[in-house]
Amino acid sequence: MPPARPTHDQSARLDFFEGARSFTYREIVAPLLAEYPARAAAAGISPSTKEEAGALYTADPRYLFACGIQRNAQRMTWHTAAESVHRDGDGLAGELATSAGPGLELDPGLELPAWYTRHTREGRDDIHLVPGGYWGDQLIGAVYDRGGAAYRLAWRGGYDARPGALHAFVRYAAGAANPARVLDLGCSFGGLTRVVHAVLPDAQVTGIDLSAPALTYAHHLGPDTITYAQRDAERTGYPDGSFDLVTAFLLLHEVPDDVRASIMAEAFRLLVPGGLVAFLDIPPYSALDPARAWFESFDGRGNGENYWECFLASDFPELLRSVGFVDVQDGALDFDEPDYWGSSALWREGSFDPVHRWVTTAVKP
Ligand SMILES: C[S@@+](CC[C@H](N)C(=O)[O-])C[C@H]1O[C@@H](n2cnc3c(N)ncnc32)[C@H](O)[C@@H]1O
């Protein structure tokens, strides 16, 4: 059973928030970025950090307006996504509650780490400003599906309406690894995991996550040839050398530094010699000019991202080398998104792209 369609009113709200975010990026953020050289020249400075560049903007009413739209559109989008999924949600909840069998391995004894539940428990903004975080709502998989699509400016088409980046990423990673066994870390409701399965139909594909509700929804979406397992990526319990390729999409910027380090050590242990890790995430500040880096952090601040800043400021390739990986490579992912109403210009016109993608790969020697 699919989640309930949004009501007329909820649809109008999602359209409005999507339009407001798209407008903000195209008509406010992109022009502010284009003005950067002139602003720096007028101030007589040559910023070397994103904070110095940000100081050129923080008193500008257009910038403050963009911040308000970004943050509050996010908050209201997720609220509306949750409200719409929960409308008549009993049928779906009942179906998910009885999900079991091949392809779904939940672990009711798994203790969720304190860093993961802390923000919601302490009444602070949780990741993405989603009420209840990733774990506190039985329908979070369906909520993420709908809210994530709205974040990608495609809520009417659904989360999978713009799979260009994920397909390009998997083809790139698979070409280098030719894997028979793939593990997708932090798979949530299976956005990347389904693409891995589609691109590599003969591979044995496993997605793991801490969130039982997200995994249950992933399994519900199918196909059941994918295995979804509730495991902590820091200590999965799989034997050494169980996989040829380990992937993750948008996991790295969602965990604290020490957790990211343990996940990398675990990924190293899980790979066969010659196996590959491939991660798709947000570009590091070091790859961006100071003004662009400031606006990248704007996106993080507007989205309740608690670990964005520490990840983007870190030297991730060095972390990979420190746990033993070699041949570490990173760079912007080359991809094209299928056209989608109203939002294609945001991608195609080369204006500020809120979801531009950075790929990092490394090999276990
Ligand atoms: C942004 S979501 C990932 C999106 C997903 N990869 C996709 O394809 O749409 C981040 C996910 O990482 C999970 N996560 C965070 N820390 C984890 C850990 N230590 N082990 C397993 N999953 C984790 C969260 O529960 C959440 O579902």
Tell me, using a 6 A CB cutoff, whether residue 210 lines ligand 1. Answer: yes
pLDDT in tens, 200-255: 999 999 999 999 999 999 999 989 899 999 999 999 999 999 999 999 999 999 99
- pLDDT for position 148: 85
- What is the DSSP secondary structure assignment for residue 228, as one 8-state letter? E
Main-chain dihedrals φ then ψ at residue 200, nearest 5 degrees = -125, 70
- pLDDT for position 356: 67
- pLDDT for position 176: 67
- Residues of the chain with pLDDT > 90, as a percent, come to 59
Tell me, using a 6 A CB cutoff, whether residue 209 lines ligand 1. Answer: yes
CA of 209 to the centre of ligand 1 (A): 6
CA of 146 to the centre of ligand 1 (A): 16
Tell me, using a 6 A CB cutoff, whether residue 104 lines ligand 1. Answer: no
- pLDDT for position 340: 53
Q: What is the torsion angle, in degrees rounded to the nearest 10, for the CA atoms of residue 289, residue 290, residue 293 and residue 294? A: -150
Which segments within 186-325 are labelled E, that is strand? Answer: 204-209, 227-230, 243-249, 271-281
Q: Whose CA is nearest to atom 1 of ligand 1?
A: 250
CA of 121 to the centre of ligand 1 (A): 19
- pLDDT for position 361: 97
What value does the mean pLDDT take over residues 244-268? 97
- Average pLDDT in the chain: 88
The residue range of the domain holding 17 is 1-365
Task: Find the CATH number of the domain harbouring 30.
Answer: 3.40.50.150
Tell me, using a 6 A CB cutoff, whether residue 213 lines ligand 1. Answer: no
The CA-based angle 141-146-151, given to 5 degrees, is 115
Tell me, using a 6 A CB cutoff, whether residue 96 lines ligand 1. Answer: no
What value does the mean pLDDT take over residues 309-334? 95
Question: Domains in the chain: how many in total?
Answer: 1
Q: Which helix (H) or strand (E) holds 328?
A: strand 326-332
Given pLDDT bands bounded at 50, 70 and 90, which one contains residue 295? Answer: confident
Q: Whose CA is nearest to atom 9 of ligand 1?
A: 191
What value does the mean pLDDT take over residues 152-178? 81
pLDDT in tens, 80-100: 999 999 987 788 888 887 777
- pLDDT for position 355: 46
Kindly give the number of the ligand 1 atom that is closest to the alpha carbon of 233. Answer: 20
Tell me, using a 6 A CB cutoff, whether residue 255 lines ligand 1. Answer: yes
